[in-house]
Structure 1
Amino acid sequence: MPKNTMKIGGKEVDIGGFDRMDFVPFHEGPDVLPHDLIFHALHALAMDPSRIAIIDCKISYQATYRQLLSDIVLCRNRVREALAPETLEALQKEQEVSLLLWSEGYEFTVAFFAILALGAIVVPFSPHITVPEALHNCKVVAAHGILTSSTYVPHALKLQASFGRHHPFNLFETTPLLRSPAIDTSTLKFQSGRVFDQNRPAVVIFTSGSTGPPKGVAVRRYNLFYSAYNAIRSQGLNLETKVVQFLPTHHATGLLYNTIPTLVAGGCVEFDQGSFNPAGVWERIRSGDLKRFSAVPTIYVRLLRHWDSTISKLPENEEYRAALSKIVYFASSTSPVPRRTLDRWLELSGKPISDRYGGSEFGNVYVNRPGDPVVPGSVGVKNSMSESKLSEGDRGEVLVRGPMVFSKYMNDPVATINAFDEDGFYKTGDIARREGDVYFIEGRRSVDILKSGGYKISALDIEKELNSHDKVAEGIIVGVDDEEFGQRIAAAVVLKNPSDRLTLAELREDLRESLSNYKLPTMLRVVPQLKKTSTLKIPKILIKEELFGAYHPDIEKWNMQKSKNESKL
């Protein structure tokens, strides 16, 4: 059917499909905020001049919501003033404009929301990223510039010198823009025009790079608020919520499921000192006003170690225990919590640690919600907000389809297409099993499912026991090709006390109580440290060859003929 059109002011207008914005100027200005639910929430919270939004312990600063919004507006305005005319035009047309972010704590938060307020895509960096890694990410997203704190300006200048030789690339130092005079929030206006396209990318989170070069995962703008809303609803976040942020903000869990939801709910985000200090964290817990606690397994292990070595011997140790018991929800992410840590934490706090499972590409598939019974070692039940299944019924690859699934890998249509099956389910590569309504993650299909002596073995099951060993601070299990058995089970470990010694025979004997014989390691290498990606994951595929790919005097092998004669029960 032909369109019914008419000419107005020399412009052909679709009578059925026109919008007022086809005729009026684009509405923007230094005192105009985007018509966006997150900014409406921040504006409403800023009406209370005394409500604290962020405490940044590293710089000894706390900011109210009014101060936060004032700094966001100033930062957004300064960046917009400096952008090239063609970049501003691209933003008005809602074309993809990516801006990198290299910062921490309060300054990160200001710059993050400033980029969103521009309508651009935020690409957050790990504070520890190297310039070559940053250059890779820069090329993937075709970045137009970078917002950086003063600390990282020298590195950002190197990035600008390399990438900016061939592309327009602005560098914005954000530190001088902080702590600006607080604005009168009643003078701020909201955009009169269309809302930003909610299907377009708002954030790009880079994968860990554990299976190859990191890919840029594009998160839809709508899902920033959607994930915040889900967290507020399911976890009871409110104006009284206080979250100590240990998780990296360049990672989905730290950003999308901790920082943004807490701020949208009107709570307070506390950024830690930077380098982890267990004594300081125990003192923070002792204050008694925390209700939620989210960390990585290493933090729980170190907190328990400090309890055993120091706090348990103090006459006032019951004060710490009483404050710990007031926390209603403990969560962990990035890797499974060692079994011994789970048991000890439950004994000490009276509450279980909920293992989170999710990914930048697909959100949280399974959940352990506050108040629900937690099955040790499980990742909970199905998340009703996401559709998922296992490829082979009660066991298999986790397949996900739902609103939180990413929109694309930036500038990589082939990888995007290959990541989905014929029904539109994202192929996570993770293997899980279902027991009743509860799910257990067994590992990555490519690296965590080992085939040894005719058995299919979960590397993660072995790692849980390995990391509960008295002498082991951290360890991984990988499969090393073997002509007779298919794969040897190889353990690489970092010792708690570098002066200790751990032999393969000792390790096998100690693990025999909790693991079947065919799951016991047959190779061992003790190392000073295990390499990690910027998201704190250990890239097994990339370091397996380095650890076990060639002869090394530190590699100890078990006599496989002797192992054959051992009981396999």
Structure 2
Amino acid sequence: MLQLIANAKNNPKKVAIVDQGKEYTYQDLSNSSNAVASMLLGDKSDLNESPVAFMVSPGFDYVATQWGIWRAGGIAVPLCITYPLPSLQYVIEDTQASIIVVGEEYQNILNEYQKDPKFKFFNVSDSKQFSRSFTLPEISKDRPAMILYTSGTTSLPKGVLTTHANIESQISTLVKAWEWSSDDYILEILPLHHVHGIINVLCCALWSGATVEFLNQFSAKEVFKIFLKGKLNVFMAVPTIYFKLISEWEKLSEEEQKELHQAMSNFRLMISGSAALPVSVMEKWKEISGHYLLERYGMTEIGMAVSNPYHGERRAGHIGQPLPGVLLRTVDEEGQPVNAGDPGEIQIKGPSVFKEYWGKPEATAKSFTEDGWFKTGDIAVLEDNYYRILGRDSIDIIKSGGYKISALEIEEVLRKHTEIKDCGVVGIPDEEWGELVVAALVADKEFDTKELNSWIRERMPSYKTPRKYIFIPDLPRNVMGKVTKNELKKLF
């Protein structure tokens, strides 16, 4: 049995999950994931690495579904619950998933797949009527486990395939580095189609026998209410969330601020990641919570690779040192290692590194050096034994609110609008979001961009929607006709 799932047997009566006020034990999770596996298998003995797409709200049913897919021998493909249909279709079609599991509230969104005989379509609530008396398949660690989608430098997202061995390495590395234990209690507020929410929060907690409380709809007020209950001792979020929490804290009375400060001072660990944390936010959070946030670095393809120390100095603006078991080097454009103090691309080796880009052997090959180092595309410099990220090697990747967003993908959608002749999308610095997605539009006449945003959100996830627009006669270009995006940024 996979280690993550086997660990649940260590303390079956312990509360694993708190979902909408209801408590579920590790035994409940084991039983329900067994039922999901039985439902998916039917009369089969093994799903034999079939991709299973699932659209289930964060909470107990999500975890039972994820574990059930793994226990049945499938590859888990989590779908984002806020994506519009075209984005969901892209993932389902790219993975060629023929099995789909949904929560009740998402059944209508994927209704066309339910009607298509080529798909096996399940509602997770139906698993409650399943039981299985015979043994589930034995899953080896080298088998594929999960496909998560990330936007690279091209306009279309790529599916990142990790094995069970990759996932176990990612989890066990963090459990050791951040000293997880069964006494921990964490709040899950991060999206569960990203490595941050799935691995760093959910899987690390459950591997350790800790408790995970879910808050499906983010609200700074609700987060503070949960803080005041005194159960939490670990918290992880992206910089945008810390910015919103600080804004909410500033509205409180002095007495309420003191009460919250006392509650937060009892936490053992608070972490920020998925985007660069502004030093001003880190310092303000230290003032209101008593905690100097632990900043770390990772990506979908590698899990977490670098971290500020759990014990010792946490340096603002720096991501820290490589985690145990992670090999890291920084190289120049010719692939030669650079000296400390000189900028270079981060390259990673180790058991946490993903297997391949799903169905894209050429993209996979291009992402690795001949001697097996994964090329992250992130430029960093080593300063007094701490790494500091300088930025991407491609200006077409925008980091906003914890997401990596492809400007090219947004441009392709914008160009389909009847009023837009051409466009250029860039990211501009923003304290709350890290970078703000903005767009320059070339059109015969200016028009209402609020209506444009509504149009975009029918075709793309809302976090990719530009926050600012300008209308210009033409885009700045070089002699080769390519848009010069650094010049475009200056217009904002």
How high is the TM-score relative to the length of structure 2?
Answer: 0.79
- Whether the 8 Å CA contact 1:334–1:536 is kept in 2: the answer is no
Question: In the alignment, what sits opposite 1:36?
Answer: 2
Equivalent in 2, 9, 15 of residue 52 of structure 1: 15
Q: Which amino acid aligns with 2:24?
A: A
Question: In the alignment, what sits opposite 1:305?
Answer: 247
Which residues in structure 2 correspond to 1:25-174 (within 5 Å)?
35-46=1-12, 48=13, 51-57=14-20, 60-81=21-42, 88=44, 91=47, 94=48, 96-104=49-57, 105-161=59-115, 164=116, 168-174=118-124
Q: Which amino acid aligns with 2:235?
A: F
Which residues in structure 2 correspond to 1:221-370 (within 5 Å)?
221-272=164-215, 274-310=216-252, 313-370=253-310
Which residues in structure 2 correspond to 1:406-421 (within 5 Å)?
406-421=354-369
CA shift for structure 1 position 466: 4.8
State yes or no: 1:476 paired with 2:436. yes
CA shift for structure 1 position 324: 1.1
Q: Alpha-carbon deviations, 1:203-224, whole Å to 9, x = none?
A: 1111146742111100111223
CA shift for structure 1 position 145: 0.9
SS at match of 2:110: helix
CA shift for structure 1 position 293: 0.9
**Cα distance in 2 between the residues matched to 1:374 and 1:366:** 12
SS at match of 1:315: helix
**Cα distance in 1 between the residues matched to 2:461 and 2:84:** 13
Q: Alpha-carbon deviations, 1:522-554, whole Å to 9, x = none?
A: xxxxx99x9899999759xxx69x9568449xx
SS at match of 1:155: coil
- Whether the 8 Å CA contact 1:206–1:214 is kept in 2: the answer is yes
Q: Which amino acid aligns with 2:436?
A: I
Which residues in structure 2 correspond to 1:423-462 (within 5 Å)?
423-447=371-395
**Cα distance in 1 between the residues matched to 2:473 and 2:288:** 44
Q: Which amino acid aligns with 1:55?
A: V
**Cα distance in 1 between the residues matched to 2:108 and 2:458:** 24
Q: Which amino acid aligns with 1:39?
A: I
- Whether the 8 Å CA contact 1:202–1:221 is kept in 2: the answer is yes
Q: Which amino acid aligns with 2:227?
A: I
- Whether the 8 Å CA contact 1:338–1:465 is kept in 2: the answer is no
Cα 1:62/1:286, change in 2 over 3 Å: same
Cα 1:536/1:108, change in 2 over 3 Å: farther
**Cα distance in 1 between the residues matched to 2:439 and 2:345:** 19
- Whether the 8 Å CA contact 1:447–1:478 is kept in 2: the answer is no
**Cα distance in 1 between the residues matched to 2:264 and 2:282:** 15
Cα 1:415/1:316, change in 2 over 3 Å: closer
- Whether the 8 Å CA contact 2:171–2:204 is kept in 1: the answer is yes
Question: In the alignment, what sits opposite 1:400?
Answer: 348
Cα 1:264/1:474, change in 2 over 3 Å: closer
C-alpha RMSD of the superposition? 3.6
**Cα distance in 1 between the residues matched to 2:171 and 2:61:** 21
* Structure 2 residues not aligned, in runs of 5+: 333-337, 399-425, 441-449, 475-486
- Whether the 8 Å CA contact 2:165–2:351 is kept in 1: the answer is no
CA shift for structure 1 position 45: 2.5
Sequence identity of aligned pairs in percent?
24
Question: In the alignment, what sits opposite 1:566?
Answer: none
Count of residues in correspondence between the two structures? 431
**Cα distance in 2 between the residues matched to 1:242 and 1:295:** 15
* Structure 1 residues not aligned, in runs of 5+: 1-34, 451-462, 481-497, 499-526, 553-559, 564-569
Larger Rg: 1
**Cα distance in 2 between the residues matched to 1:332 and 1:342:** 9
Cα 1:445/1:532, change in 2 over 3 Å: farther
- Whether the 8 Å CA contact 1:201–1:218 is kept in 2: the answer is yes
**Cα distance in 2 between the residues matched to 1:107 and 1:249:** 12
Q: Which amino acid aligns with 2:196?
A: T
Q: Which amino acid aligns with 2:80?
A: S
Q: Which amino acid aligns with 2:120?
A: N
Q: Which amino acid aligns with 1:170?
A: K
CA shift for structure 1 position 239: 1.5
CA shift for structure 1 position 340: 1.8
- Whether the 8 Å CA contact 2:84–2:458 is kept in 1: the answer is no
**Cα distance in 2 between the residues matched to 1:428 and 1:398:** 6
- Whether the 8 Å CA contact 1:128–1:534 is kept in 2: the answer is no
Q: Which amino acid aligns with 1:169?
A: F
- Whether the 8 Å CA contact 1:433–1:441 is kept in 2: the answer is yes
Cα 1:264/1:63, change in 2 over 3 Å: same
SS at match of 2:109: helix
- Whether the 8 Å CA contact 1:321–1:349 is kept in 2: the answer is yes
SS at match of 1:107: helix
Equivalent in 368, 374, 383 of residue 323 of structure 2: 383
**Cα distance in 1 between the residues matched to 2:397 and 2:65:** 41
Q: Which amino acid aligns with 1:344?
A: K
CA shift for structure 1 position 338: 2.2
CA shift for structure 1 position 380: 0.9
